Amino acid sequence: MPKLILFAAFFKKEFILFRRYLVNSLGGMLTIYIVFLLLFGGYRGFASMAGAVGGSGIENLVVGYVLWFFMLTTYQDVFHTILLEARQGTLEQLYMSVHGFGWVMGAKAAAGFVVNLIFVVVLLIAAMLTSGVTLRLDVLSLFPVLLGTLLGVLGVGFAIGGVTLILKRIESYTQMVQFLLIGLIAVPAERFVVFRLLPGSYGAVLIREIMVNGKNLLELGVGNVLVMYLIGFAHLFLGYAFYKVCERKAMIQGTLGHY
């Protein structure tokens, strides 16, 4: 019950921030949509020159872009929370919570997932209407696969957050992670087993199988889904363990709450 109250508090905070800064929130969604329009227009232009407009290429583009946005916001929820709390001088207060810092960040990530899911649904509908493609939205199959896909991204967020505790300002480097996430989605993990070990890559393959090829959870295979979760939890564990190492070093230096 206390953990549910913690989650409810973070969800309420996310809703209040969205409503209070509504213009900025809508502007961010509009920016993401405009970037999709540019990518879609560029793809159509290239495909027209190649004489191959339409088809599964556009469907994969829509799925990949929406998934990239979800992975990006999930990663930023962890990293930006740590960075913002450090800047405001309130990071140490999170460590004083009776729930523990891990549970606090878990509740923040869960609340962010719910809010980001709403944004993703809106973006997906807009992208489908713009591109004219039809994707299968099997919620019962998509939801568990999506959760498993985002586990590894949370691990990346914790790892970057740990580096932030030590170096404080690394924004010029964290921007590279945005492009790294694109690579994780685009790698042919369905053909090369080694790529499946990357954060989110195997989940991206399974999501495309559901939304583009129309497969359900049973057709994907329980074994494949379990492997995806094992990979995701492994990345989450490694990312959080690395964060704890950085946290320990920052505590020894006495700079945990300093910016």
Rounded to 5, what percent of the chain is helix, strand, coil? Answer: 85, 0, 15
Q: Dig out the tokens for 70 from the structure.
A: 């979800």
pLDDT, residue 73, reads 86
CB 66: neighbour CB atoms within 10 A?
24
Q: What is the pTM of this model?
A: 0.84
DSSP code for 256 = T
What digits encode the pLDDT tens for the residues 142-188? 899 999 999 999 999 889 888 888 887 777 777 788 888 888 888 88
**DSSP codes joined into one string, 19-35:** HHTHHHHHHHHHHHHHH
User: Per-10-residue mean pLDDT for the chain, 259 residues long?
Assistant: 78 82 79 79 50 58 87 84 77 76 82 85 86 83 90 90 81 78 84 87 91 86 91 94 89 71
